[in-house]
Amino acid sequence: MQSLSFDESLAVLVKAALLEDIGGGDHSTLSCIPAAQRGKAVLKIKQEGVLAGVAVAEKIFRMQDPLVQFHAFKKDGDLMEPGEKAFEVTASIHTILGCERLVLNCMQRMSGIATLTRTYTRLLEGYHTRLLDTRKTTPNFRLLEKEAVRIGGGINHRFGLYDMIMLKDNHIDYAGGLEAAINKAWEYVQSKEPGLKIEVETRSMEDVARVCAMGEGKVFRIMLDNFSPETVAEAVTYIKGRFETEASGGINHQNIAAYAASGVDYVSVGGLIHQARSLDLSLKAVLLS
């Protein structure tokens, strides 16, 4: 089944989020603001970091009010400082107030993730190694969390269970071993999903040797799970470029450079998303004269 586009997925997210928040009606707004009244608001930055979610905010407002006027002062990926303005929006006041919390929640969360991601990518400057995210995301918010990683300079790993095969420890154990898992996955790809890539998790140098012995032409990437930087370097030397390599597990600010020095192609860091802290932003009304 074909996946939804970014805009289609965002529309689903926004519809569910607004239903959760507004429900049967925004009575605070309905009680005191005429339905036809239009207004202006500005997104104010209150904390330094990497800005993310401006394009998403514009899409959210336009979904609710096609006549919206949106002027961005900064773009996604820009550095931001307290006191700066991110954008200005003119629309139905009902739209501004109904979307306010959703826009702020998205942008604050996305900016926190983008900021943390940027700190990691800076530590990788000068190395061959690139930074990957994981599926350790908030249910139903993965779309924007992974977009924030991309804005921060990271690379999105598989989006879900449907766009790549990753044979992890439990798959391998349930399938009857490393070789059995790889062969079954390869047969499945040939008959069901041609072109689907297979990545395999390894837990030791012995596993690495076994994948190298029988996985060429079947496996495209070997994950080195919970290996020390020294053992990753040993594995990369052994693999000799026959497969892409990814180090995963326990990678943080303190040791990421050591992993990059091993020559591994990718490092994956789940903490990019689940350890990020939202940044402080506010949407304030601008009174029209």
Q: Which residues are catalytic?
A: 101, 136, 168, 201, 225
Sequential DSSP letters for the chain: -PPPPHHHHHHHHHHHHHHHHHTT--HHHHTTS-TT-EEEEEEEE-S-EE---HHHHHHHHHHH-TT-EEEESS-TT-EE-TT-EEEEEEEEHHHHHHHHHHHHHHHHHHHHHHHHHHHHHHHTTTSS-EEE--S---TT-HHHHHHHHHHTT-B---SSTTS-EEE-HHHHHHHTSHHHHHHHHHHHHHHT-TT--EEEEESSHHHHHHHHHH-TTT-SEEEEET--HHHHHHHHHHHTTSSEEEEESS--TTTHHHHHTTT-SEEE-THHHHT--PPPEEEEEE---
Q: Could you give the C-alpha distances from 118 to 51, 166, 168, 230, in angstroms and in order?
A: 11, 26, 28, 25
Residue for token pair 């689903």: 12
Question: Beta partners for 286?
Answer: 40
Please state the φ and ψ torsions of residue 159, each to the nearest 5 degrees: -75, -40
